[in-house]
Amino acid sequence: MKSQISTLVFFVATMGFAQFGAPSGISRVPHQNGLVEAPEFYILEWKFGTQLKEKATDLTIIVDSLGNQKVNALAGPDDHEVLYTSDISTPVCADGECKLMHIRFYWTILGQYAGFDRYPNLPLTKNDHDEFQYMDYLKLHQLLMDDNSILKRRKMEELVKKPKQPKMEGVDAVAGATIKEIKESVVSGALYSCYTAWHIVHGSIKEEILQRTSASIDADVILNMLNSRHADYQLFALKRLDEKQYEENYARIADIFKSGIPLVRTFIIKNLPDSFWNSEKLQGFFWNSFSEIDINSRSLLLNNINRASPKVSQGLSLQLQSMTKNQLKIYLKHLEDSNRMSSSIKENLLAFANSRSETIAYLVSDFLEDYQ
């Protein structure tokens, strides 16, 4: 998932480099036997004081000509794995010249990219031997966060192929979106390094880590994931909760619904157990977020309008400005079908219908005309 990319770019652009260490100097030494501070480039939250110890696993990554490189787990005091890591040295070859790239990668316990640390005195370099600058590392981090990068489906030789000349004059000589997308996503002058790094991070190791985690998952880990801010963890946990656990964790689930990404909201609202819809209190937490959530999630909530309490029908009459045209139609039809048109709802509808700033006020006017 790429949910953090734009936030990160914005963050760096506005806050400068302070949060990430010196822009051009050498990074701190990656810890040999564990981790006591967040990796330099990192996507998960890191609690101050966290200490992770390294545990050997049987996982490896095969690197061209250098054989297997070990992948270790990093575990917390309760011995639960928190991250996976590997110190990678791999040849990067361009135009017949090969150099070694040294980097330490981190994966989440679901096998997704979590971050990297660079090595002191072993900076990454570009084709022309220039060293990576801080912004280059940051761009590499962004690229690695993109698990659906254009690099995924392309062979290296395809990426360096020159585009065809167009047949008609005046047509830009570009091979469509592809070249543009590649240029935007990789570090300038370091296509080979980026390509190699991406394919190591997103190679078969992802699936192997996921399988390892799935085989040993327990309730505590699932609960930790539910409480994480990381959307993939949230979804993984939500999929594994039974009805009782949904009810026990309703406050956290309602909180994720309000603050999470639309994809997670969508999952929650489509999979809420019936017990939520039968309880005015439990469903209330979700309806209360109506005006703050995205349009798609609002539509999914409205799919359940006929299971909503009268209080919800009433409350929504004050939130008509948050509805799209079709959502408003669903709500009005609900009022008609459910016979819940109270005097106060009607008053709210009238106020909306008479508002000059509401562009779909006419729908409510028409409705009120027919309703009378």
- In whole angstroms, what is the distance from residue 145 CA to residue 139 CA? 10
Binding flag, residue 327, other proteins (CB under 8 A): yes
Contacts for 219-224: CB closer than 8 Å, 24+ residues apart: 220/78, 220/80, 221/80, 221/109, 223/249, 224/80
Binding flag, residue 153, other proteins (CB under 8 A): yes
How does DSSP classify residue 86? E
Binding flag, residue 12, other proteins (CB under 8 A): no
Buried b (16+ CB within 10 A) or exposed e, 172-206: eeeeeeeeeebeebbbebbbbbbbbbbebbbeebb
Give the nearer residue to other proteins in terms of CB position, either 194 or 361. Answer: 361
Q: Which stretch binds other proteins (CB under 8 A): 19-27, 132-140, 160-168, 222-230?
A: 160-168
Q: Which residues contact 255 (CB under 8 A, 6 or more apart)?
A: none
Binding-site member from 176, 242, 274, 343 for other proteins (CB under 8 A)? 176
Binding flag, residue 368, other proteins (CB under 8 A): no
Binding flag, residue 343, other proteins (CB under 8 A): no
How near is the Cβ of 201 to other proteins at its closest, in Å? Answer: 14
Q: Which stretch binds other proteins (CB under 8 A): 60-68, 88-96, 131-139, 165-173?
A: 165-173
How near is the Cβ of 140 to other proteins at its closest, in Å? Answer: 20
* Subset of residues 248 to 267 that bind other proteins, contact rule: CB under 8 A: 261-263, 266-267
Take residue 332 and report the two structure tokens written for it: 């009005």
How near is the Cβ of 233 to other proteins at its closest, in Å? Answer: 13
CA-closest candidate to residue 346, choices 332, 360, 328: 332
* Binding residues with other proteins: total (CB under 8 A): 46
Q: Which stretch binds other proteins (CB under 8 A): 30-38, 162-170, 309-317, 332-340?
A: 162-170
CA-closest candidate to residue 203, choices 84, 40, 29: 84
Buried b (16+ CB within 10 A) or exposed e, 228-264: bebbbbbbbbbeebeeebbeebbeebbebbeebbebb
Binding flag, residue 294, other proteins (CB under 8 A): yes
How does DSSP classify residue 79? S
Give the nearer residue to other proteins in terms of CB position, either 118 or 230. Answer: 230
* Subset of residues 187 to 246 that bind other proteins, contact rule: CB under 8 A: 231, 235, 239
Binding flag, residue 159, other proteins (CB under 8 A): no
Binding flag, residue 161, other proteins (CB under 8 A): no
How near is the Cβ of 52 to other proteins at its closest, in Å? Answer: 26
Binding flag, residue 175, other proteins (CB under 8 A): yes
How near is the Cβ of 247 to other proteins at its closest, in Å? Answer: 19
Task: Please report the DSSP string for 158-201 in residue order.
Answer: HHTPPPPPPSSTTS----THHHHHHHHHS-TT-HHHHHHHHHHH
Q: Which stretch binds other proteins (CB under 8 A): 4-12, 33-41, 80-88, 95-103?
A: 4-12
The SS3 call for residue 85 is: strand
- In whole angstroms, what is the distance from residue 229 CA to residue 249 CA? 15
Cβ 103 vs Cβ 118: under 8 Å? yes
Binding flag, residue 148, other proteins (CB under 8 A): yes
Binding flag, residue 324, other proteins (CB under 8 A): yes
Take residue 361 and report the two structure tokens written for it: 């006020």
The SS3 call for residue 369 is: helix
Q: Which residues contact other proteins (rule: CB under 8 A)?
A: 1-7, 148, 152-153, 166-168, 170-172, 174-177, 231, 235, 239, 261-263, 266-267, 270-271, 294-296, 298-300, 324-327, 357, 359-363
